[in-house]
Amino acid sequence: MQMEKKILFFSLLLLFYAALNAQKSGNPVFTGWYADPEATVFGDKYWIYPTFSAPYNQQVFMDAFSSPDLVNWTKHSHIIDTVQVKWAKKAMWAPAIVEKDGKYYLFFAANDIQNNGNHGGIGIGIAERPQGPFRDYLGKPLIDQFHNGAQPIDQFVFKDIDKQYYMFYGGWKHCNVSKLNSDFTGFIPFDDGTIFKEITPEGYVEGSVMFIRNGKYYFMWSEGGWTGPDYRVAYAIADSPLGPFERIGIVLQQDGRIANGAGHNSVINVPGTDEWYMVYHRRPLTEKDGNSRMTCIDKMEFDPDGKILPVVMTNEGVDVRPLDKAGSFSGRMNTSQKYIQLFNGENLDGWYTFLKGKGKNSDPDKVFTVKNGNIVISGEEFGCITTDEEFENYKLTVEFKWGERTFAPRADRARDSGILLHSVGEDGASGGTWMHSIESQIIEGGTGDIIIVGDGTDNFSATTNVKPGVLEGAYFYDPEGEVKTFVRGRIDWHSRDPQWEDKKGFRGANDVERPVGQWNRIECYAIGSDLLIYVNGKLVNRVCNVKPQKGKIQIQSEGAEIFIRKVDLQRL
C-alpha cells in the first residue's frame, strides 16, 4: 500500500509539472508575415528581429519582438527604416544584432545589389536600447562589393570566446567570413593578408549562423530556393570559427502535414543551460506567395555525440520558459536560478577536490583537471570532486565518456566511477574517500545501478520494487517485484546482465551505455523522496522513500580515466 501511495504521489507530481508548463507559444509566435528571424537574449528578455516579408519595394523598415517567456510577445514597430538609413531604398533584409559596451549594433542588408555597380550591401544601425530606434552608424554600407562571388546579404555576427567578433555572410551560394575591428567600422586582415575568407560548405545557399557548444563550433546555413518548398537548414561542426566545415546533414526541412519553405534560422541558448531552440520561418501549406512566411520556434536537441537531432516542426511551439529576472546566468550558484551549469567548461569553480589520504583541495598529481572544455578525471587515485552547495528537488544531467587508462587496484577490472547524490556529513566518512550518500553508479555494464553509500542506519536508505538476481545478494529494479528497503548495498538497473563480471571492457547483453570512447548521458531526477535514473534516454532505475533528500553532489575518481563534458542542474 505504501508503494502504491508513492506511485500515486509521483504521478500527481508529474501532472502538476505538466500543468505548470502547459502554456505553449504556438506557431507562428506572433502574427504577420515575417522571415529571416534573428533571435537572441538581452537581459531578462528574448528578442526576435525578423525581415518584414513583403515585395522588395515595401521592405523599407524592420520591426522587433520581445518576450519574457517565449510565449507572450510584444511588438516594437519600425525600429529602423529607410528614413534613418538614407542609402537604403528597398529590400532591408535579414537583421543580425549584438550588444557591445552598452550599445546595440543592428547589421542588415539593403537594396539587393546584383553587381558592383549597384549601391547597397550590408549596413549597421546603432542604438542605446535593443528596441531602438536605430540610426545609421556609418552613413554608408560596411560591405558594398562582391567578394569571392558572395552577394553582400544575410550577415551573422559571432563573438568568439577570445572576444573577437566575426562576420559570416553571403548569398548566391558563396559564404565569406571576416574579422570585425573593435568599433565595427571595418575589418582586421587574417594572417595571410586577406579580409574576406571563403568558407562555403557543400550545399550552401544563404543564411549563415554560428554558435559554440561544448567547445565545438556549429555552422548552419540554408539550402534550396527561398520561394520553393525545398528550402531547408543544414549544418557542420568544426574546431575553429574558420572551419573547415564539412556538411553533416539536414536538421530542418518541409513537413507535408504542417508547412514548407522552412529555413533561414537562428538559435537561442537559454543562458546558463544546455536548452536550445531553433527560430526559423516557414510557409503555410495554404499559401502560394513566396513572401507568405511566418516566424516559428521549436526545440533543438543534441544526441550524446553532439550531433543535432532533426528539428520537428510543430503547430504548438514551445513551453513557457521565463528568464531569470536579474538577467544573470553566470553558471555559478545563484539560488534564484532554476537552471545552473555546475561545470562552466573552463575550471572547477563551485567544486572542491578530496583525495583519499590527502584530504581536501590537495591534488598535487592533478587527478582532476579541465582540458578542452572537459573535466578530466585521471582515476590514478581514489577521490572525488564535490559541489560547494547542497541541492534538492532537481534534474541533474551529466555527460561522460570513458578514457583508455585504468589503474590499480582496478587496472584489469570494469571501468568504475559514479555520481554521489544527497551527499552529507564529513568528507571521507565512507572508506576515507566519500561522503555518505546515494550513488548513481557509473561502471561498465552497470551504469544506472543505485548504491546506498551510507552508515548502515536508515538515515541513508531507499525503497523500491526488486527481484532477486542470479548472484547471492543481488537485486534488480523491477516495477512488478517485491517491495524492499535498502540501508546498504546495490539496486541493479533493470536490465543489468545477470552474469555481469567485474572485468575491463565488459558489455552486457542489454546495455544502454555506449562503448568506451563514446559519449553517454545520465539524467537523475530527485523529486521529493523519489529518485529516477535515466541512461541515454531510458529509465533504468527508480527508488522512493530516499533518505536523505538533500545534499551535495560528488563525482568519483575510482581507478579509471573518465571525461565529463556537462554537469547541468535544473531545479524542480
Which residue's entry shows cell 573577437? 164
How does pLDDT run across 11-53, given as a tens digit for each residue? 444 443 444 344 789 999 999 999 999 999 999 899 999 999 9
Threshold 0.85, pTM exceeds: no
Tens-digit pLDDT profile for residues 326-369: 433 323 233 335 779 999 999 999 999 999 999 999 999 999 99
Closest CA to 493 of 520, 515, 516, 522: 522
* Domains located in the chain, CATH noted: 36-300 (2.115.10.20), 339-571 (2.60.120.560)
Alpha-carbon gap, residue 467 to 476, rounded angstroms: 5
1 pLDDT exceeds 80?
A: no
Residue 8 pLDDT > 60? no
Q: What pLDDT is attached to residue 48?
A: 98
Q: What's the average model confidence in pLDDT over 414-440?
A: 97
Question: Is pLDDT at 6 greater than 50 in this prediction?
Answer: no
Closest CA to 386 of 432, 435, 448: 435
Phi first, then psi, for residue 14 (nearest 5°) are: -65, -40
Pick from 104-108, 167-171, 233-237, 273-277: least confident:
273-277
pLDDT of residue 572: 81
The Cα 256–Cα 292 span in angstroms is 17
3-class secondary-structure state, position 12: helix
Arithmetic mean of pLDDT over the chain = 92
- Residue 162: per-residue pLDDT: 86
What pLDDT is stored for residue 472 in this prediction? Answer: 74
pLDDT recorded at residue 331:
31
pLDDT at 378 over 90: yes
Say what the pLDDT of residue 336 is.
38
**pLDDT tens-digit readout, 396-425:** 999 999 999 999 999 999 999 999 999 999
Contacts of 114-117 with C-beta under 8 Å, sequence gap 24+, read 114/151, 115/146, 116/145, 116/146
Amino acid, single-letter form, for residue 4: E
Q: Which residues are catalytic?
A: 36, 206
Mean pLDDT of 61-90: 96
User: Are the C-beta atoms of 327 and 43 separated by less than 8 Å?
Assistant: yes
Q: Is the pLDDT of residue 483 over 60?
A: yes
Residue 543 is placed in which grid cell?
A: 527508488
- pLDDT, position 435: 98
Q: What's the pLDDT tens digit per position in 99-118? A: 999 999 999 999 999 999 99
For residue 185, give the nearest of 256, 128, 103 by alpha carbon. 103
**The pLDDT value given to residue 4:** 47
What is the distance between the alpha carbons of residues 34 and 435, in angstroms, rounded to a whole number? 55
Task: Band the pLDDT of 324: cuts 50, 70, 90.
Answer: low
- In tens, the pLDDT along 442-475 reads 999 999 999 999 999 999 999 999 999 877 778 9
Going through 342-491 in order, the beta strands assigned E by DSSP cover 351-355, 359-360, 368-371, 374-377, 383-387, 394-406, 416-424, 436-443, 450-453, 461-468, 475-477, 482-486, 489-491
Residue type, 453: V
Please give the pLDDT value at position 525: 92
| Residue 311: per-residue pLDDT | 94
On the CB side of 502, how many CA atoms lie within 13 Å of its CA? 7
436, three cell numbers: 555518505
